[in-house]
A and B are shown apart, each in its own frame.
Chain A
Amino acid sequence: MKAAVITFPGSNCDLDLFHALADLDFEPTVVSAQTTDLSNYDAIFLPGGFSYGDYLRSGAIARFAPVMAAVSQAAADGKIVVGICNGFQILTEAGLLPGQLFGNEQPGFICDEVDLLIDNSNTTYTNAYADSRIKIPIAHGEGNYYVDSATLAEMEANHQIVFRYADNPNGSVANIAGVMNLAGNVFGMMPHPERAVDAITGNTDGHPFFKSILQTLGMAVGRK
């Protein structure tokens, strides 16, 4: 499966995501944010980092990057589009996912490993998980997810909430850690599954996340 990892100026988790995908038998390519054509890829990944420095609201500049038209097109075509951390912020800024990420309730960057509850195990991103409670690293200063209550009610009704924090670290509405669009092909989360794919670094709970995506696409799951 061909996966594009979009690197914006200031992205810093692009290589981590690349390695996680490569180790799990995706065929990843790191693609510049200047690219305007993503038609060759089956799935698009927007990595974490500080795109364009994020000196404004996180993701607010990246949404205007040349690649974003192609990302929107891929989303409209039903391809899998995944945003992690800053990638999630960019997808909400671009209007491809509902909601908005604000500064953490208690201001400041937090790096930790937190427990997530899988709210919807029947998604492209969670179908390979055996447990409903997993541990995934977080590293963000603006991870406080907000949607208005009407939208939240719709999202709940449509099972668009994929992950919730077991112990809310940033003030997110309804403890939300990861959400998808109505069609289920666009997904964003603040925690970093790509940092949890290797036993030597202490955590492999991110592995089923990527495996789920492969399974959904009917690809053989392997691990180099």
Chain B
Amino acid sequence: MTTSRLKELTPQQILDSKLYLQWGLTEEEYQLIVTELDRLPNFTETGIFSGMWSEHVSYKKSKAVLRKFWSQNERVLQGPGEGAGILDIGDHQAVVFKAESHNHPSFVEPYEGAATGVGGILRDIFSMGAQPIAVLDSLRFGELNNAHTKHLVDGVVAGIAGYGNAIGIPTVGGEMAFDDVYAGNPLVNVMAVGLMDQATMQVGQAKGVGNAIIYVGAKTGRDGMNGASFASAEFSSQEKADRAAVQVGDPFLEKLVMDTTLMAIRDHADIIVGIQDMGAAGLLSSSAEMADKAGMGIELNLDLVPQRETGMIPYELMLSESQERMLLVVKAGQESKILDLFRENNLDAQMIGTVTDNGRYVLNFQDKVVADLPLRFLTHPLEPKLAEQKPKRLENFIKSQYQPDVSDLTATIKQLIGQTTIASKASLFRHFDSMVRADTVIKPGGDASLVRIRGTKKALAMTTDVNGRYLYLDPKKGGQMAVAEAARNIVATGALPIGITDCLNFGSPDNPEVYYELNQAVAGINSMAKLLNTPVISGNVSLYNETDGQPIYPTPMIGMVGLLADVEQALTIGFKKASDLIYLVGATKDSFTGTEIQKMQTGKITGQLFDFNAEDELAAQKLVLQANQAGYLASAHDLAEGGLAVALLEASFTGHLGFKIQTQLPAKYLFSETPSRFIVTVPASCQSAFEALAGKQAQYLGTVVDSDDLQLETSEEIVHLSRAELQKIYQESITWQLKD
């Protein structure tokens, strides 16, 4: 029989060796535990506190910020605090979505880290009673100039593909960007979207004394040991990566768990009291959180936990993050229906405990009580008051806008279109099955992805977006702009933005400058979310994204969902036919600091970020939605990194058509990243109607032409570009850079 490699220290030895510090508890926290228990915590209990009080599980350092999120409106059926948020989309249907980060594990073990990121977020969705219908990935890596980053990109892409393709949920979109600040801390954020009938809604609560706690799914092994604490610490290049803290995924098993859980909800809703997946801190946090939310207690018999390895000790059973496991609370006396269903589908299912009313968290193992803790105390760690301070760099920025050098417009465009941030990611996204379920209307490569709802006229638009550079220069404005751009993505498909999830990727909150960034970013996100009527209904926090004290750019990934009432009205980015008229919606200003062209020409991002005007944003979005509903638009594309030049080229590449453009502005404005802009095309037959609606909000630029020629006339010159030549650079740049 294998015995655990871990030696269970006595309470006194834990005190003497200060093991709790290694496990991430502070001296103050440990003393608080001793005082509350009126004794020294034993080995298992110390491990329990280290898991439950980690930032990853408890959000103790970010809770104060998260509470500020606006998360209620007429659509919200479930806000933050459950597996995922839920919005009403009419016809008694609801959309469920959430995003989660798997940054730390993906750095150490990119394939499994990314794969289990997909698995974890899908469990959050189906534990609410929803069928997952789509996955999106928001990825950040270092520049593609070193072998390690290439290894990470390959591993993460293969991991997402390996898991998502096998489970049969399409990866419909997302985005990818590259910047040196992410070299030591890549970001792997996964958003999942599910669809449900409102009647099948589930929550993760353990109500009702005597009700059964049922464990279903995979057996528990020694993988992902205390991964939550691991995810709540910074990396150091001096220390060896902790590979044992990374979980291993099995998409086949997850599919069985998913299908059977949804079947259980469909057929046995009357006896299922609550469902939660075992995510961070595994069996421990799922059981503790479910009991805490119901204001109850819980008692588990760990001998009954299905185990993959022998000789596991309570610490390991509770802190393991083995994947594909769920915890169900089922009405007393009805357990066999659920147990039988899971077992019929070749899954482990075991009643491991009961709900109690004494408010205690009690674990039994080999006929001994190995933990007996007050539950509310366990689930409510101290929320440390964190200092915040405006970063020095923000004080010292030059006020005037960067001025790009565009003396050779053709050369500038060729160089820009091959930049990793701009160039097509299709060569990577093609590894993901974007079409399984046969509902994908807009595949990766659009502004947002669009998934139809079979049996209705509706479709759901979805996107992920954030530009960390903007937040680095101005956390609050950058936060506003991230929400605004996500909404522009949605609007460019014709859909109405309805809600937000997020992954708040930041450095260490113990650094007052990082904490300031977090606060400001959330304030920005919040203000724009309210204006757009898109409540923040779920999300995730990933802090400590720093290596050797160097934090990433503040990168609060915004995942947004939109509702399109009639899928036939879907808009896509590509030009549709020759002689359609091209318009620019929104004004172009002197907006160059923080842009792609600044990065390309100077190698860095610095200075005071350009202006963002929320009113302009709302007006531009409103115009595009109205014009589309009136049937005036043939295509729409939002302007983002690389500005008007890149948007025109993408619309041209996608539509396989050329353009003839004339602008009164100097050439450099083709690269301005002024927010709140779209390009739209309008059939000639709708010209006067569109112009009447748009007024001064839209500016005529030129026409779509059926040729390879791209003609750009600025106030300074006329250039002719070859679509085929530019498209080759755009499509092949990433592939070339990934090769050695």
A: residues with CB less than 8 A from B are 9-10, 12-13, 15-16, 19-20, 48-50, 52-55, 108-112, 137, 139, 141, 192, 194-195, 197-198, 200-202
Contact = CB atoms under 8 A, between A and B. Distances in A.
22 contacts: A9-B252, A9-B255, A9-B345, A10-B255, A12-B166, A12-B168, A12-B255, A48-B436, A50-B251, A53-B251, A53-B252, A54-B166, A54-B252, A108-B161, A109-B161, A111-B432, A111-B433, A139-B433, A192-B435, A200-B568, A201-B435, A201-B440
B452 to A, nearest CB: 6
Interface in B699-714: none
B432 A52 contact: no
Contact of A110 (B250, B253, B255, B430): B430
Q: Is the interface of A mostly helix, strand, loop or mixed?
A: mixed
Interface residues of B, number: 32
Given A110-B430, A111-B431, A139 B165 contact: yes
Nearest to B157: A108
Contacts of A110: 430-431
B454 A19 contact: yes
Given A19-B438, A53-B251, A139-B436, A9 B168 contact: no
A13 B436 CA distance: 7
A63 B432 CA distance: 26
Interface of B: 158, 161-162, 165-168, 250-253, 255-256, 345-346, 430-441, 452, 454, 567-568, 570
Contacts, number: 83
Contacts of A197: 438
A31 to B, nearest CB: 15
B252 A55 contact: yes
Nearest to A112: B430
Contacts of A16: 436-438
Contacts of B431: 108-111
A163 to B, nearest CB: 18
B107 to A, nearest CB: 22
B166 A50 contact: yes
Contact of A52 (B168, B252, B437): B252
Contacts of B436: 12-13, 16, 48, 139, 195
Contacts of A20: 438
A11 to B, nearest CB: 8
Contacts of A139: 165, 433, 435-436
A54 to B, nearest CB: 8
Nearest to B440: A201
Given A19-B454, A200-B441, A10 B435 contact: no
Contacts of A195: 435-436, 438
Nearest to A7: B259
A55 B253 CA distance: 12
Contacts of A49: 168
B166, B251, B438 pick with most chain A CB within 10 angstroms: B438
B167, B255, B433 pick with most chain A CB within 10 angstroms: B433
B441 A201 contact: yes
B251 A201 contact: no
Contacts of A9: 252, 255-256, 345-346
Given A9-B256, A10-B255, A137-B435, A109 B441 contact: no
Contacts of A55: 252
B166 A10 contact: yes
A109 to B, nearest CB: 5
Given A52-B252, A200-B567, A194 B435 contact: no
